[in-house]
Amino acid sequence: MTRKTIETLHDTDYDTIVIGAGAVGCATACQLAARGFRTLLVDRGDFGAGTSSRSSRMLYSGLGYLAARYPLWQMPFRPADMIRRLLYTREVMRCRAELVRDMPGHLTKHRFHYPFRRGDRYPPWLVDLGFRLVEALDGWRVPLAYRRLALAQAAADSAMAAALGGPLRGVGVFEEYMYAWPERICVDTALDAERRGATIRTYAEVTAIAREGEDWVVTLEERAPEMQGRAQVRARMVVNAAGPWIDRVPGGGSGRRRVIGIKGVNVMVRLPEAFRGQGLEAFSRKGEPYYVFPWRDFHFIGPTETEVTANPDDIRVEEAEVDYILGEANHLFPGLQLTRADVLHCWCGVRPTSTRDGRTTSLPVEVAEDPAMPGLLAVTGSTIMLHRHAARQVARRVERRLGKRGPAPEGIISPPQDQGIGQMAAAEHVVRLADLIRRRLPDGLEPDLGRARAEALSRIAAASLGWSEARRQDELRHFEEDTARVYRQP
């Protein structure tokens, strides 16, 4: 299938243009299209190729959102903050239940552990209360099945719990879900948006946004290989959902810094077979969240929590970060003695955290509009789990300005149906080989990161998309370069 030139979009008109095809952008396009708004979704790359593809891959139980950074004794004196945290946690748990209901094919369920260590900031009774509270905020629709076990019972039930080093006072156990394939959530949501009437253009970079009368004019530059071109499209409203790149979209804001990047590094390792399918959440010796998450036959451990200001495109995993993550794992499980030799690969992402008064804040999802730039919205502070919530907030803001036109979308977002790979490549906006391997097929999530089938898949893509032999070879080279850019290997 031949990709249409970008000039076919020139001088087209929309109600809304959504910039950024990560989880939030795709969900926003779906919400708007379903509600009857003429919607264009654009991204300078592929669906979910940025932060959405480098997340922790876990639905969070919401407990961390209740954890305040100030001393516990100050909690009674900050009722407004605690109320805000409770309301936000309730929204988190509702979103969790929604994903379990509407995306069952995109999730896997696992048993997780929470070690109670002597000297912890939060005493066991308070953690118990927190887990009960977050379940209650959800109305127990998708229980966490939390319980606290004595050391002997926890060790008898789980090899992972038995391997924990001391000093321990007990082990909490709960059930939680992970994204089986976070990149595919973005793809399937975008395709659902297209079925509902949205227009999609990947590999189209926004190079300018300008106000003309009551409308916005967005300039797009072609970024697909072997293609060139430029188009200007008009819309009554523009939604900047570019994640950690939100402040780097030309003309996409007032110049005020709206997000601060938090870099998170994850390290993939092989742990004992008896640990398979089980996970752990804890705090590092620095007091930061630390996890051991199951991933097929392996586990990935981390993360780091480092504030960064550089372009997210240039962020890479550093050796010291890998050493820190391995050191914390060995502290939790003294018998493992993990070294660099145990590392399969590692990766990092940049989480876009909203700012208030120049400081980061994890609360809440925000849809901002500068009074001097009416109709230009910026979405910050969301995660994959909250992507539908963020999209609904945007849709309500659009309806407030343009009026209601239709109902909000409902129903299951299905994983890909059985179809030929060539048909998939042609129907699902595949432009590069990396798009196919990493975000349309599960090969990119394998231990070899998709290299085993790259040659065969490149031939299928070439036949389906009309690539020349020279282009096919270029795509293989690009895939290797992209792998080296995204993943660090020993």
Domain enclosing residue 450, as ranges? 421-488
Position 439 in a domain: yes
**Tell me: the pLDDT tens digits for 230-283?**
999 999 999 999 999 999 999 987 677 888 889 999 999 999 999 999 999 988
In this prediction, residue 83 has a pLDDT band, given cuts at 50, 70 and 90, of confident
H helical segments located in 71-138 = 79-102, 124-137
Tell me which of 208 and 384 has the higher pLDDT.
208
In this prediction, residue 15 has a pLDDT band, given cuts at 50, 70 and 90, of very high
Q: Which residue has the tokens 């293989």?
A: 476
Instruction: Supply the pTM of this predicted model.
Output: 0.94
Determine the Cα–Cα distance for residues 395 and 412; give it in Å rounded to an integer: 19
Helices (H) and strands (E) in the chain, counts: 13, 19
Count the domains in the chain.
1
Determine the Cα–Cα distance for residues 59 and 488; give it in Å rounded to an integer: 25
Sign of CA dihedral 45, 51, 52, 57: positive
In this prediction, residue 361 has a pLDDT band, given cuts at 50, 70 and 90, of low
**pLDDT value at position 457?**
97
**Tell me: the pLDDT tens digits for 324-356?**
999 999 999 999 999 999 999 999 999 888 776
**Tell me: the pLDDT tens digits for 424-442?**
999 999 999 999 999 999 9
In this prediction, residue 217 has a pLDDT band, given cuts at 50, 70 and 90, of very high
Determine the Cα–Cα distance for residues 179 and 300; give it in Å rounded to an integer: 13
Identify the CA nearest to 346 among candidates 328, 330, 326.
Answer: 326
Position 434 in a domain: yes
- Asked if the model's pLDDT at residue 194 lies above 60, the reply is yes
* Residue 287 and residue 379 in contact, taking contact as beta carbons nearer than 8 Å: no
Identify the CA nearest to 59 among candidates 179, 236, 202.
Answer: 179
Mean pLDDT calculated for residue range 275-295:
91
**pLDDT value at position 42?**
98
Mean pLDDT calculated for residue range 201-226:
97
State the average pLDDT for the chain. 91
Lowest-confidence region among 41-45, 92-96, 202-206, 375-379: 92-96
**pLDDT value at position 27?**
97
Position 313 in a domain: no
- Asked if the model's pLDDT at residue 309 lies above 60, the reply is yes
Position 462 in a domain: yes
Q: What percentage of the chain carries pLDDT values higher than 90?
A: 69
- Asked if the model's pLDDT at residue 323 lies above 90, the reply is yes
CA atoms within 13 A on the CB side of 453: 18
* Residue 102 and residue 413 in contact, taking contact as beta carbons nearer than 8 Å: yes
Determine the Cα–Cα distance for residues 113 and 146; give it in Å rounded to an integer: 10
Position 483 in a domain: yes
* Residue 406 and residue 31 in contact, taking contact as beta carbons nearer than 8 Å: no
Which residue type does 247 have?
D
**pLDDT value at position 138?**
80
Q: Which residue has the tokens 């396009």?
A: 29
**pLDDT value at position 242?**
96
Position 474 in a domain: yes
**pLDDT value at position 254?**
66
**pLDDT value at position 120?**
81
The token duo for 80 is 């407004």
Position 396 in a domain: no
